[in-house]
Structure 1
Amino acid sequence: MRATIRTRLTLVFGGLFLLTSAIVLIGADYMVERAFDGSVELRSVKADVPARPQDTGSAPPLPADLSGPEQHDAPNPETMVKAVREDVLGSQAQIRLASIVVMGAVAFALCWWLSGRALRPVHQITDTARRLSLSNLDQRINMKGPRDELKELADTFDAMLERLAHAADDQRRFVANASHELRTPLAVQRAAIEIGLADASPDRVATMRAELLRITERSQRLIDGLLALAQGERGPETRTPVDLAAAVRHSAELYVTPDIQLDLDLRPVTVPGDEALLGRLVDNLVENAVRHNHPGGRVEIRLAPDAGLLISNTGPAIDPGRAAELFQPFRRLHPDRTGSADGAGLGLSIVAAIARAHDLDVTATPNLGGGLTVHVIVPSPRS
């Protein structure tokens, strides 16, 4: 069984504390032993030095045989010091062993408790992650305490949950909108078949045929848009230099109409990416600028290395506070910007997805007299 990180921390720090304590105690015993050895050597030197007679007029010392019995029974100082040394060192060894055992137990218990407290935020993050699902992404850790590594980890996890919650909400809205967009033409088709073909006259059949064909084409455009949106969010598998000026000229040739004036000012700009996806980005911008316009309107397209790609058109006025919503799927701001047969509200959302996949920034700004200016910021060639 693999040891947990709490067990490993306890063993490492408890072992280090125990080893340090043992070294200190052994060093202290060694110093005591050296002190006793020095005391014994000093007393041995003093015992070897003969005593000098004092000039005090006192009587000389008595001979050994006349000095009395007390002189023969006097203890030897060196023997006493050695005996005390043996007793003290023996007691020190027992105390050292008992101290090491006690400090080891205390050290490991304290390290186990401290490591548990230190890892408590990690367990809190783990428990929160285990409880998470698509239905309760609103839960957060909300860790309190000093700004340390664990607090930063918990805050990062909370920020990730916030992004996941927004992504899940966007996904639910996208599925609901896509279901609604797909269900509407199917309902119309069913009504046309059940009601419109009840009277199967040649004229009625021709009218219903044209209506069913129009609805089928709209459904096909919607499905193509959903596929393009998914591909744009996935991003390019390989990146090659793409000539944006050539892509803009091609799109202008496809969507040019007699009622709309196109003004082009293109300079060579090369962007690394997928040629098909970047071509779809330019196609959607040019198509939207031409479609959501009025007869006799104008579309200006500017492309430069420093300024990037700017596409501006005339058309209905747009609330500046809601311009950013145009980059969301199925978001429509004007009835005349949608039309049930003109589009599904995926054009600019596909543009935003492709731009993100190519590390490009895209913004939309309403014009004062009506219409919209979309700006795609391309990387500078000097960066």
Structure 2
Amino acid sequence: MKSERARLTRLYGGLLVLAGVLLMGVVYLLVSETLYANVMSAVVPTFPLEGQSAQYAPALRADSLAETAVVDSANTKTMQEVTTAAGDAALSQLLTVSGISLGAYSALSVALAWWMAGRVLRPVGVITARARRLSGSNLHERLALKAPPGELKELADTFDGMLDRIEELVSSRQRFAANAAHELRTPLAVQRAAAEIGLADDPTPEKVARIRAKLIDTAAGSEQLIEGLLLLAVSDEGLHRRERVALDETGAAVTEALAADAKARSITVELTTRPVTVVGDAVLLDHLVHNLVANALRHNHPGGRVRVDVGPDGLEVVNTGPVIAPEAVPLLFEPFRRARARLHAPGEGAGLGLSIVASIARAHGGEATARANPEGGLTARVSLPRRI
């Protein structure tokens, strides 16, 4: 900031000194244009007219002299010499005084420019000092710059807004890491307990079979969780390929693939499609639709309904199920967040479904939203930029 202050000082000081030099030059030119004429007008009355005594000369006006009297050649020459000498002396004195004044003005201008630059850059110093103190442990602090409205105030407010987003992102990542560690540790603990306790004594074939089935089921859940984490990471990175995807065909294919699961749960699935094409990653879009429909089937009750609507307005999935508090709906898009506490039951899921949906929607320039149905269940909607 010191170098910037020096640059601003040179700029402000140079402009002020230049203004002083220009002003002095204009004053000198204006004075020199009329100085000799004014001196002549003051000198002429001091010289006597021909045929009159010198004592009456001062009482005569200069303009009447030209009409009523003629000054002799000796007096004319003397007047010119006196006028020139007086004018030169006055201009010399003017230059001397102006030079001294310009020097003092220049020194004052540089000091004033240094002070002005410091005042202008003071908010920048405050922003820099506070930004240097920020770290992962105090991201909650803000600049909160107290300054009049202006560019620097707007910069500080923008910086505070950026810190809000960074804090939210870091907090989300920390929660994600903690939840992922917890989710991965649970199946590992189950596997270890099954191996240490279930096989501690001489196991019977039936017991070995049960332990084997338990280990396989736990490993499948861990594999599903890891695949979900990898998919979430891939979608967070954005799109690596783009192609035209018929979203209505994707919706029909996913619904057909999950028909057996819906039948096993005694859930009725209603599908409504209208032709719509989007540009994006076909694999990710397939996961998006699959996660929405699978989530609607999983969090439902026997004999419930699921309505899937694909059209120009996007994708909408409505399901019946338990009543969800409206304030809890936004939290469902965070990783490992569930409407109900996890029971570690088969087919429960890892709690990544809606977070993956939101991430894929963002990667495609869209948005995923949801609202709780008054009679129970959820209405999830994904809007995507449409390409015909």
TM-score range with shorter-chain normalisation?
A: 0.7 to 0.9
Query: What one-letter code is carried by the residue in structure 2 that aligns with 1:309?
Result: L
User: What is the correspondence of 1:254-273 to structure 2 with a 5 Å cutoff?
Assistant: 254-257=257-260, 258=263, 259-273=266-280
Question: Secondary structure of 1:87's match?
Answer: helix
Could you tell me whether the CA contact under 8 Å between 2:364 and 2:384 is conserved in 1?
no
Q: Which residue of 2 aligns with 1:284?
A: 291
Q: Which residue of 1 aligns with 2:204?
A: 201
How many residue pairs get matched? 363
Aligned-partner Cα distance in 2 for 1:375–1:298: 17
Q: TM-score, normalised by structure 1?
A: 0.87
Determine whether 1:76 maps to 2:83: no
Shift of residue 42, structure 1, vs aligned partner: 5.9
Change (3 A) 1:126 1:353: same
Question: Secondary structure of 1:370's match?
Answer: coil
Q: Which residue of 2 aligns with 1:57?
A: none
Query: What one-letter code is carried by the residue in structure 2 that aligns with 1:361?
Result: E
Q: Which residue of 2 aligns with 1:113?
A: 115
Aligned-partner Cα distance in 2 for 1:281–1:190: 34
Change (3 A) 1:249 1:317: same
Q: TM-score, normalised by structure 2?
A: 0.86
Aligned-partner Cα distance in 1 for 2:46–2:86: 18
Determine whether 1:236 maps to 2:239: yes
User: What is the correspondence of 1:1-383 to structure 2 with a 5 Å cutoff?
Assistant: 4-39=3-38, 76-199=78-201, 200-257=203-260, 258=263, 259-305=266-312, 307-335=313-341, 339=345, 341-379=347-385
Query: What one-letter code is carried by the residue in structure 2 that aligns with 1:285?
Result: L
Deviation string, structure 1 residues 185-225 (Cα, Å, up to 9, x no partner): 11111111110111332111111100000000000111111
Deviation string, structure 1 residues 48-81 (Cα, Å, up to 9, x no partner): 998589xxxxxxxxxxxxxxxxxx9999333222
Shift of residue 341, structure 1, vs aligned partner: 4.8
Give unpaired runs (5+ residues) of structure 2.
Answer: 53-73
Shift of residue 139, structure 1, vs aligned partner: 1.4
Higher mean C-alpha deviation, range 28-37 or range 42-51: 42-51
Deviation string, structure 1 residues 213-267 (Cα, Å, up to 9, x no partner): 0000000111111111111111112332221111111111211132222111100
Deviation string, structure 1 residues 119-173 (Cα, Å, up to 9, x no partner): 1111111111111111111111111122111111101111111111111111111
Query: What one-letter code is carried by the residue in structure 2 that aligns with 1:99?
Result: S
Q: Which residue of 1 aligns with 2:71?
A: none
Aligned-partner Cα distance in 1 for 2:124–2:244: 46
Question: Secondary structure of 2:339's match?
Answer: coil
Aligned-partner Cα distance in 1 for 2:243–2:162: 32
Aligned-partner Cα distance in 1 for 2:23–2:335: 71
Aligned-partner Cα distance in 2 for 1:300–1:153: 48
Question: Secondary structure of 1:237's match?
Answer: coil
Change (3 A) 1:124 1:47: closer
Shift of residue 296, structure 1, vs aligned partner: 2.2
Change (3 A) 1:38 1:340: farther
Change (3 A) 1:343 1:73: closer
Could you tell me whether the CA contact under 8 Å between 2:325 and 2:372 is conserved in 1?
yes
Change (3 A) 1:324 1:357: same
Aligned-partner Cα distance in 1 for 2:258–2:117: 68
Question: Secondary structure of 1:141's match?
Answer: coil
Aligned-partner Cα distance in 1 for 2:268–2:281: 29
Question: Secondary structure of 2:336's match?
Answer: coil
Could you tell me whether the CA contact under 8 Å between 2:331 and 2:337 is conserved in 1?
yes
Shift of residue 337, structure 1, vs aligned partner: 8.7
Deviation string, structure 1 residues 314-373 (Cα, Å, up to 9, x no partner): 222212221221111111112489736521100001001111121212211222322211
Could you tell me whether the CA contact under 8 Å between 1:267 and 1:304 is conserved in 2?
yes
- Aligned-pair RMSD on alpha carbons? 2.8
Aligned-partner Cα distance in 1 for 2:144–2:258: 53
Deviation string, structure 1 residues 283-323 (Cα, Å, up to 9, x no partner): 10011112222222221111121x32111112222122212
Deviation string, structure 1 residues 15-74 (Cα, Å, up to 9, x no partner): 111111111112212222222232466689999998589xxxxxxxxxxxxxxxxxx999
Aligned-partner Cα distance in 2 for 1:17–1:285: 68
Could you tell me whether the CA contact under 8 Å between 1:316 and 1:370 is conserved in 2?
yes
What is the percentage of aligned positions where both structures have the same residue? 44
